[in-house]
Structure 1
Amino acid sequence: MNRLADLEFLALVKAGLEELVPGVTEGAQLKGNSMISPQGWAVAVTPPHHGGGHHYDLVALPDVSLQPDVPCFMDCVVSMSADPQDAANTWVQTAGVCLLELLDRRGHFADHAGPEDEHGVPGWHLITSGAVGLGHDVDENRRLQGALLEANVLHRIADSFTADLESPFFNGVKVFYGGTPGAMQAEVRVNGERHEAASAAMTALGLPEPTAFTTVRFYALLLPVPAGEREPSFPTARLDLAPASASGQSDANSHGTDCDCACGRRLDPEHPAFALALPHPVAELSEEERRRRVTTNTGPVIVAEGLGNFLKVRLPVRLDDGRTVVHFVWVSLPAAVIEDFAQRVHRDDLAGHRFEGLLCNAVGPWGEDVLHAPVVLGGQRINEDGSVQLSEVLESSDPLLAKILGETWPTAFVLGDRFPRESSSDVSR
């Protein structure tokens, strides 16, 4: 498999970001070796300086307005399968979510830990992704993902590398563990370079070995916390996402009881959409418990120990003004069903596939009356750019949810005063 041209690979990165947060790459341009967002951030591909032709070295620039020396952080990914979208998604789910969280800062995309947190790094504010696993055995992937998170690596090896964190803005750290039984490699890269002392300290932690080829990794940003301050200095650039409620409470008329309005879309009156950031059982956990129990969070998929496997899907509701509002919700699926779904993605065999699950969110004005309703899902497809369109709730044996899906609803009842349409005079101007 030949290495893709820079812009071809960045197109896959863009597709992965868009799948994770619909609308986040709106207006972003692909040119030269970069993807440049009108919101002030960019991602670029640089010539590979280590590894083979399947390596892609990426640089994230959270705020390109800081000239002439634009602060950035680096990462590299390798295409381990026939589909380079897998490599792009690996970046999106690790370094990419750290970029989004650095610019959004509400805990929607990655976790935060302060200098005194038991999972933190003394003297630094930590933004860290979940662990992503790639390997031959799904169960081994999950086991090592959980082991890597449980090991609390950066907290335990902090003394081995923090003296070498030189950026006054943010420092990128990749933590990698992978290989075959008897030949596992632990590696820590600081600002793009292998850090020998930190890698040795991680090796000494004695992480468990898999029974088959497996790799797991996560990414973190470390921001210096000035003396006497509680928070670091964040970039001035921000994501233009729908604002969270100032009170921290959701709008029961349009979001459901555990939505925090992290839909990632501009407020487009013609295409109203709401996203519930987490499945209800996961949202109910404390931050500490969530960090401990969530072993996988790729954006569209969340796996939480003792709670289940969750898939993000679309739930469309027709309005009486001709529009359709889409709720991005979560469904619970048996492990065998979600593994079959993943295998179908790799085989490009999603067309016509239908499967069943349970709705795991309160929705709109109907609230918890539809929580745990059985659903039939389908409608997913692999797009031309290689991304996978989210599955859609097609039907339900629950009487209320079946009515929600099958009937047309008053706009004011579903949306309240959100997403008002422009008047004809506004449009004519």
Structure 2
Amino acid sequence: MGLGSWWRGGSAADRRQQRNDGAPLSEQAVLAIVAQQLTELGGERWTVEGALAKGPGSAAVALAAPHGDGPAHLDLSFLLEAGRPEETAVTDCVAGFGADSEAAVRRAVEIWASTTGVTMLELLAHNGRFAGHIHPADADALPGWHAIHGGIVAWGAGDRHNAVQDWTVAHPLLPQLAPAFADGFGRDALIGVKVFLGGRVGEETAEVRVDGVVHERASKLLLGLDWPRVTEGTAYARTFVLLVHPER
């Protein structure tokens, strides 16, 4: 399965504003940005209704309790069925950067939509329009699982800001992380796996979150992989995989 570049960029000034100190946006304002992004991405109208951004059928997005600092650090839960949040929620966190709080939130939602949101839209559409399907027998699969792989986004500074993204495209992460997931997951379907890695020599970041919670074993394994450590500037990559269900 080929995975291309969904989004790249971010000036040095943008990156310095990642932990933006401006006033946070209201819940309604954030949800409106989510609804707008998903409408533009999917072509079907999303609207804000109370504490939800609601889309086609029973799909919705809610703001989860934040675990990070800053007005542009968002925890978003995509609800496949709004009436069954416990069984169908896929939660992920994302941070944005920009000149002010609104710009930073918009960037965060854009990153989330192009990595995490597209996997959920593809789960609804199931036609390959939004993201790629990985079958259990594929070389880049997590053994035993059908998965939907979102985009791989990159940002950083310098001529090699896309180095980690390029490596991630060429070296599928699921089989490399498989040993860390040998003990299974907390439920048997709709497992969200976020991967974030990069930085520069001596300032590396490697984080794997499963259903919004840091997976220590997978994060440690990720840190030990041979992805590029740039010596000038920075290079980061982020992606998201939805493990749909096991096939044995």
- Find the aligned partners of 2:66 and 2:186 in 1 and give their Cα distance: 23
Change (3 A) 1:186 1:42: same
- Find the aligned partners of 1:203 and 1:68 in 2 and give their Cα distance: 33
Contact 2:163 2:228 in 1 (8 A): no
Change (3 A) 1:197 1:51: farther
Contact 2:156 2:162 in 1 (8 A): no
Residue equivalent to 1:214? 235
Residue equivalent to 2:118? 97
Contact 2:147 2:245 in 1 (8 A): no
What is the TM-score with the length of structure 1 in the denominator?
0.49
Task: Give the drift of 1:68.
Answer: 7.2
Matches for 1:51-70 after TM superposition, within 5 Å:
51-65=69-83, 67=84, 69-70=86-87
Task: Give the drift of 1:119.
Answer: 0.6
Contact 2:25 2:71 in 1 (8 A): no
Provide structure 2 residue ranges, at least 5 long, that are not aligned to the other structure: 1-21
Q: 1:80 aligns with which of 97, 106, 111?
A: 97
Residue equivalent to 1:146? 166
Deviations for 1:6-60, whole angstroms, at most 9, x for unmatched residues? Answer: 22112112222222233x2x2x331333112241100111221234443110001
- Identity over the aligned pairs, expressed in percent? 34
Contact 2:198 2:236 in 1 (8 A): yes
Change (3 A) 1:70 1:29: farther
Instruction: Give the letter aligned to residue 86 of structure 1.
Output: R
Contact 1:79 1:87 in 2 (8 A): yes
Task: Give the drift of 1:162.
Answer: 4.5
Matched, 1:190 2:210: yes
- Find the aligned partners of 1:193 and 1:15 in 2 and give their Cα distance: 27
- Find the aligned partners of 1:162 and 1:50 in 2 and give their Cα distance: 29
- Find the aligned partners of 2:172 and 2:191 in 1 and give their Cα distance: 18
Task: Give the drift of 1:149.
Answer: 1.9
Contact 1:2 1:54 in 2 (8 A): no
Change (3 A) 1:12 1:136: farther
- Find the aligned partners of 1:130 and 1:162 in 2 and give their Cα distance: 25
Contact 1:181 1:212 in 2 (8 A): no
Residue aligned with 1:106, SS = coil
- Find the aligned partners of 2:131 and 2:205 in 1 and give their Cα distance: 25
Structure with max Cα Rg = 1
Deviations for 1:106-129, whole angstroms, at most 9, x for unmatched residues? Answer: 111111111110010111111111
Change (3 A) 1:38 1:151: closer
Residue equivalent to 2:52? 34
Matches for 1:93-242 after TM superposition, within 5 Å:
93-137=114-158, 139-210=159-230, 211-227=232-248
Task: Give the drift of 1:105.
Answer: 0.9
Instruction: Give the letter aligned to residue 74 of structure 2.
Output: Y
Contact 1:33 1:46 in 2 (8 A): no
How many residues in Structure 1 have an aligned counterpart in Structure 2?
222
Residue aligned with 2:162, SS = helix
Matches for 1:381-420 after TM superposition, within 5 Å:
none
Instruction: Give the letter aligned to residue 89 of structure 2.
Output: C
- Find the aligned partners of 2:133 and 2:71 in 1 and give their Cα distance: 34
